[in-house]
Amino acid sequence: MDTKARILLVEDDYNLGAITKKRLEEAGYEVVHCSDGEIAWKTFLKSLYDICLLDVVMPKKNGFELAKQIRQRNDLIPILFITSKSLDEDKISGFKHGADDYVTKPFSMQELLLRIEVFLKRTRPLNADKRTTFAVGKTTFDYGELKLTEKSGKLKASLTQKEADLLKFFCENANKTLKREEILYHVWGKDDYFIGRSMDVFITKIRKHFSDDKEVKLETLHGIGFKFYVSTL
């Protein structure tokens, strides 16, 4: 990771919290540990985090209440419950309050790390590419100016901001298989039916822009997502 993902860890068991924090930091994450729900809520409001790991049974404010508050403030941040409760009704209650997943104590650190990685792939950029200009086949894509230009210097197309956002994401991850939901989370911030239909419109537009260039191909991988093939980038 070029920039460390920030984790808000809320666990009232000091020893478990300290051990979990240490292991997560060893794995390359930046971790803030809070011992009760009220402190965690105040801490959450003061900074930005990439994922929240919440215990359920805590003093002052339990994990369900905290998750509900966090979700009202931010409907995209992943929330993962770490709990000794394994009953179905507890899990259902957690999901109703905004949880994305559960890990039941005692848990393996490897399992926790894998689950964290899954959620962060959906919500953090796959690539920390800082470029704003890309040579895409026979075309120059200027993200800052929202323009596609031919090698001769002639303007090929002017892009909308969202069209440029999507094309930039494809350029940053050229020749990689990208899942449909992955693209939606990174470019639109969420995955739902209507946004998905909107993305399909932009996909069609991007294909049209490069239809005369054999060096560029935006392929649909049915049931999976897309792959942006570029022989020169």
Q: State both tokens at 118.
A: 């899954």
Looking at CATH, the fold of the domain delimited by 6-123 is given as Rossmann fold (3.40.50)
Domain ranges of the chain: 6-123, 133-230
Could you read off the pLDDT tens digit of each residue along the chain, which spans 233 residues? 346 789 999 998 889 899 999 999 999 999 999 988 899 999 998 888 889 999 887 878 888 888 888 888 887 788 888 877 655 555 566 566 566 777 877 778 888 888 888 788 766 654 455 678 999 999 999 998 999 999 889 999 999 999 999 999 999 889 999 988 888 877 876 666 778 888 999 999 999 999 999 999 999 999 889 999 998 65
From CA 31, how far away is CA 17, in angstroms rounded? 10
Cβ-count burial of 131 within 10 angstroms (0-12 exposed, 13-18 middle, 19+ buried)?
exposed
**How far is C-alpha 3 from the chain's CA centre?**
14
Prediction pTM value? 0.52
pLDDT digits (tens, 9 = 90+) for 66-78: 888 888 888 778 8
Looking at CATH, the fold of the domain delimited by 133-230 is given as Arc Repressor Mutant, subunit A (1.10.10)
- The phi, psi pair for 138, rounded to 5°, reads -90, 10
150: which strand partners?
Answer: 139
